[in-house]
Homo-oligomer: A and B are copies of this chain.
Amino acid sequence: MSDQAPIETDAVVIGAGPVGLFQVFQLGLLEIKAHVIDALPYAGGQCIELYPDKPIYDIPALPFSTGRELVASLLKQAAPFEPVFHLGEEVTSLATQGDGRLRLTTSRGKTFMTKVVVIAAGVGAFQPRRLKLEGIEAFEGRGLHYHAPDAERLAGQDVVIVGGDTMAVQAALDLTADGPQRPRSITLLHRRDVLQAPASALAEMQALCEDQQMRFQVGQITGFEERSDAGERRLTAVRIDDVDAQVHVLPVDQLLVFQGLSPKLGPVADWGLALERKQLQVNTEDFATSAPGIFAVGDINTYPGKKKLIVCGFHECVLAAFGAAALVFPDRKTPLQYTTTSPRLHQLLGVATPVRP
């Protein structure tokens, strides 16, 4: 995949959280088109991942908003600038080229060549919580999955799903559908007997368990078993401790783990940028990092007085956009224009300029 032609662009924004989305808008006002990369499969970042329905009270002029509403508004606001989203993929490398441009690669094998990068990665890329079991990482992508694999890979197999929330329950229910791809057995495994899922899903699961179409098992994974198959290691079972501290061996061909997501700073730490306690140091004049062409906004940066609030990230986007404009348009002085009065901004936003009475 890495031999795809590189995507050439003026700006790449890493992170599609609220601050990354407002960064797209601010870049757009200065006529800089942006590509946006996020590890999550949807825009919104923490707001969507951690508190989509909880209220936020401190966004200026929004006395009340849910994370979901906030993100919807920011997407709408950025829409006139037609950002290109690359979701569900992580930036794996970032390096400065001889011509001063920046080269990024992603976990899906895409390459970008860009004049500026704005890192709006919040607390880092949200990644599935891994099983803490020594040696099991060797099976990742074969017998062990943190994202649902293609259904055909599960056909006729013993499938164990680990997790206790809606995502885990729903994954189990989805597999019970009749058809050629149905697994041989489906077990939902959770460390306790309380599941966090809608009552309707739990009722459906109860019925399927009674009908022996799936099983629910309470227990904690403590080990695994494997065999060698034509020189290739294969997962064959997990050992679990149940609530009574009894050890069970659960046969498994495919282990699906849905234990939620946790943020990881990830490769950002390896790009040679000046850090202070895992935050990127920036200049408050333009929110530039220590590397030319790379800016950082939102929770991932630090400077004297820094507060990790969305409203502060919004301001940082404005100044970073002007910093970016100086690099993208080195021969142009970028004036500050107002969206209320500027005909050029109205044109970019696709709105009519009001006629003076």
A interface, CB within 8 angstroms of B: 18, 22, 25, 29, 51, 54-63, 65, 67, 70, 73-74, 76-77, 196, 284-286, 303-305, 307-309, 311-312, 314-316, 318-319, 322-323, 336, 338-341, 345, 349, 351, 354, 357
Contact call A56/B340, Cβ cutoff below 8 A? yes
Whole-angstrom distance from the CB of A8 to the nearest CB of chain B? 28
Q: How far is the CB of A261 from chain B (nearest CB, A)?
A: 18
User: Which single residue of chain B is at the shortest CB-CB distance from A304?
Assistant: B285
- With A55-B351, A57-B351, A59-B60 given, is the CB distance from A286 to B308 under 8 Å? no
Q: Which of B74, B286, B314 contacts A311 (CB 8 A)?
A: B314
Residue in chain B with minimal CB distance to A78:
B63
Integer count of this chain's copies in the complex: 2
Closest to A284 in B: B284
Contact A336 B309, beta carbon cutoff 8 Å: yes
A341: chain B residues within 8 A (beta carbon): 54
- List the B residue with the shortest CB-CB distance to A63: B77
Most buried by B among A22, A67, A357: A22
B304 & A58 in contact (Cβ 8 Å cutoff): no
CB of B77 within 8 A of CB of A73, answer no
Partner of A61, one of B59, B338, B345: B59
CB distance from A167 to the nearest CB of B (A): 15
How far is the CB of A68 from the nearest CB of chain B, in Å? 12
Contact B60 A340 (CB under 8 A): no
26 contacts between A and B (CB under 8 A): A18-B60, A22-B61, A54-B341, A55-B339, A55-B351, A56-B340, A57-B339, A57-B340, A57-B351, A58-B339, A60-B60, A60-B74, A60-B311, A60-B314, A61-B62, A61-B73, A62-B62, A67-B340, A196-B357, A284-B303, A285-B304, A286-B305, A305-B323, A309-B318, A312-B319, A315-B316
